[in-house]
Amino acid sequence: MTLDQRDEGKPPDRRRLIPRTDHVLEDDRLAAARVRLGPDAVRRAVHAAQERARAGHIPPESVADAAVAALPSKLWTLRKVINATGVVLHTNLGRAPLSRAAVDALVDASGYTDVEFDALTGERGRRGAGMLEALLSRVPDAEDGHVVNNGAAALALAVAAFASGREVVISRGEMVEIGDGFRIPELVAAAGGRLKEIGTTNRTHISDYAQAIGGATGFVLKVHTSNFRVEGFTASVPINELAGLDVTVVADIGSGLLAHDPLLPSEPDVGSWLRDGADLVTASGDKLLGGPQAGLLLGKHHLVHKVRRHPLARAMRVDKLTIAALEATLRAPSSPTRDAIHASDELLQERASTLADTLVARGVDAAPIPSTGRVGGGSAPGLALGGWAVQVPEQLATPLRTGDPPIIGRIEKGVLILDLRCVDADDDREIVRAVETALSSRASSDSPACT
């Protein structure tokens, strides 16, 4: 017993009323949580609640309730985020969101699955055969294909397979940094290739390539300058001219666009580059393709075969979850990435008006406004995607960002812009709910209303 009130007359020391841990743990709700979350997480929640009671923040009899309220709802820390930035492929927000089909495929593959098993014969099957078939049917110009963990791995594997200890000829205008300080030339060098830089930052000609090619050449590397544009006095050599050189041409296209998209006029696609004469094209799975993180290698059969048999291919092998999600992405008629880029202006405007009206009715200073989105993720630099957003007071930015799910907008000229391009229409309700929550906690903390 912790109850000790023999000193009648004196006010009882409330802290002595705090229930003991083993006593609190007998609570049915906490016992159930121990099964779901494990004993440590529950114990931590109880200790935290006891601490709050000791500090006088909650009454001792509320310890069990407070511990239940403090339990984590999940064992993992990654959460769904509502992307109201208007940037379709936001690297900080996980790049491409998966389609419903890809999510269902992930779930199917999450247990035992026939990833490398042929149920018809009862024998070993080719790993990811369905995914590869889906990939090749989307890129008929590729003789063969292989999938690794990401775009960088695809390029590294190509270097290891065809240019280990040999020269990789690359234009100085294409020596790009892809993000977070990672640079293509350093990747090539780390994979064992020797860089043979040619041309200048703004201009490289076919004669520069011709002069550089020799007995030590592994391949010519063409890199799509995916995240910036050079304007003015510039020249680079297109694939169809490089294809005329007597050398293997590997092309890092980055974005993973498989076929031309008229909305992205300057964005090259794998099919076109192969038709233009690239021998091998590397690309990402989670940029414009709209799938899981993956790296694609597509092109000539003999090159893909060599890549596939390289020892490092095993170190970069994709798991069953990627295989499942990528195949579903490839077979689905569209992807959330494509849908967001192609979102109808009218529908966005309609949603923005409805959402703004709903918020105004709750006393928020909200209005629909035109908003310019971007593709992002190092794709289609400079391309403006005209769309619609709801503007709300800037003070809502922090409560919305720190809510659950976090809602991430853009702050511009003292207001918070919630761009609806990448927000699932079903999540418009979540935005209303989050604003209501922000307003009610504001009201209870007695600060001025937001309108």
Ligand X SMILES: *Cc1c(COP(=O)(O)O)cnc(C)c1O
Helix axes 428-444, 345-361, angle to 10 degrees: 30
Please report whether residue 343 would count as binding ligand X according to CB under 6 A. no
Q: Give the one residue of 37, 223, 332, 341 binding ligand X; rule: CB under 6 A.
A: 223
| Cα gap 261→342, rounded to integer Å | 10
Q: For ligand X, which is the closer residue by CB, 86 or 151?
A: 151
Distances (CA, A) of 357 to 101, 345, 351, 412, 433: 33, 18, 10, 21, 14
Please measure the distance between the N-terminal and C-terminal CA atoms of the chain and give it in whole angstroms.
53
Q: Rounded to the nearest whole angstrom, what is the least distance from the CB of residue 121 to ligand X in the complex?
A: 35
Identified binder of ligand X from the candidate list 151, 185, 268, 336, rule CB under 6 A: 151
Q: How far is the CB of 155 from ligand X (least distance, A)?
A: 6
Residues in contact with ligand X, shown as a per-residue x/- string from 7 to 46 under the rule CB under 6 A: ----------------------------------------
Q: Residue from 25, 178, 264, 396 that binds ligand X (CB under 6 A)?
A: 178
C-alpha torsion 355→361→366→371, nearest 10 = 20
The string of DSSP letters for 324-354 reads HHHHHHHHSS--HHHHHHT--HHHHHHHHHH
**Which residue's CB is nearer to ligand X, number 19 or number 151?**
151
Q: What is the DSSP string of 53-81?
A: HHTTSS-GGGHHHHHHHHS-S-S------
Count of chain residues binding ligand X (CB under 6 A): 12
d(CA 242, CA 221): 10
CB of 99 to ligand X, least distance (A): 18
Q: Which stretch binds ligand X (CB under 6 A): 29-37, 148-156, 199-207, 337-345?
A: 148-156
Segment near ligand X (CB under 6 A), from 110-118, 150-158, 358-366, 402-410? 150-158
Which residues within the stretch 52-91 sit at the binding site for ligand X (CB under 6 A)?
Answer: none
Closer by beta carbon to ligand X, 58 or else 239: 239
Structure tokens at 397: 């930015």
Q: Is 226 in the site for ligand X (CB under 6 A)?
A: yes
In the DSSP assignment, the letter for residue 286 is S
Residues 184-193 as b/e (b if ≥16 CB within 10 A, e otherwise) read bbebbeebbb
Which of 252, 269, 419, 427 forms a contact with ligand X (CB under 6 A)? Answer: 252
The encoded tokens of residue 83 equal 């992307």
CA dist 72 and 33 (Å) reads 10
Whether 368 contacts 353, CB under 8 Å: yes
- The verdict on 220 binding ligand X (CB under 6 A) reads no
Could you say which residues in the range 360-379 bind ligand X, by CB under 6 A? 378
Residue number with CB closer to ligand X (289 or 450): 289
Of residues 217 and 226, the one with the C-beta less far from ligand X: 226
Residues 382-441, interacting with ligand X (CB under 6 A): none
Q: Which x/- pattern over 260-299 shows residues binding ligand X (rule: CB under 6 A)?
A: ------------------------x----------x----
| Residue 401: CB minimum distance to ligand X, A | 25
In the complex, least distance from residue 316 CB atom to ligand X, rounded to whole angstroms = 11
Specify the stretch interacting with ligand X by CB under 6 A; choose among 15-23, 104-112, 146-154, 233-241: 146-154
Nearer to ligand X, 295 or 403 (CB): 295
- Exposure string over 116-153, b if 16+ CB within 10 A, otherwise e: eeeeeeeeebeebebbbebbbebbebbbbbbbbbbbbb
CB of 247 to ligand X, least distance (A): 20
Q: How far apart are CA 321 and CA 300, in angstroms?
A: 27
Which residues in this chain contact ligand X in the complex, by CB under 6 A?
A: 150-152, 178, 223-224, 226, 252, 254, 284, 295, 378
